[in-house]
Structure 1
């Protein structure tokens, strides 16, 4: 992983060029400094597609937005801001393309574990049949009706 960050200013879009072999993960958008109290919207265009809004940031209310976006496009991605204040986008580059396995000579590290290759542990005394025997729902009996609880006022009266 490698850090990535950019300040996108109103009227000055940022163009992210295709980067073969690396995916861009954007994890946060933060409102830049300024005195305007109007919101700023981050939008994204992938190639010639229609723009989509990623987030809307409001001064003194919502100045940070958590994002979980990954780009591995073969065309340019354009980020722009609609509004008076700049927005800082931060994230990181991931090693390979999605679904691409790394080679032993790769310098990237794998932080995950493929759970399909792990063994599960079973209790020696239990079986699949009695796994759900002690369900928290008891359909065999009539439901027990509880009386409402007593509520006391701040003076200790009912």
Structure 2
């Protein structure tokens, strides 16, 4: 069975912009996952809102075409936001923006909540992001045992 992981929009943005990261292995790990996608060894899913987030970065047409080419692959699946996803996103955001959680981290944005709900509803175990606020919630009871973290540089488990 092929492994399925979720990419938050910031993963694509960092890869496309070739962002300078504190950990040089961050982009290496992203590239390894993308290489596995290209070899059809792995499936990555993301929300359709990722396209809007990437386009908002104004990376230029040549770089956007690199992203568009990647999106054409059948094992890079874009999941549309439907009523079920929107309802779960609202519940997640409400729960984490409540007074009992505010001391643990900053609030979830609506886009963060949509990404998390999309991953949960599609039964993804690994949610990859560079967003430290989201990483701080990994394996929280409210996040349905979803493992949230940076992409691993060593992909032997895939």
Tell whether the structures are fold-level matches, with TM greater than 0.5.
no
Q: In terms of Rg, which structure is larger?
A: 1
TM-score when scaled to structure 2? Answer: 0.23
Q: Which structure has the highest strand share of the two?
A: 1
TM-score when scaled to structure 1? Answer: 0.23
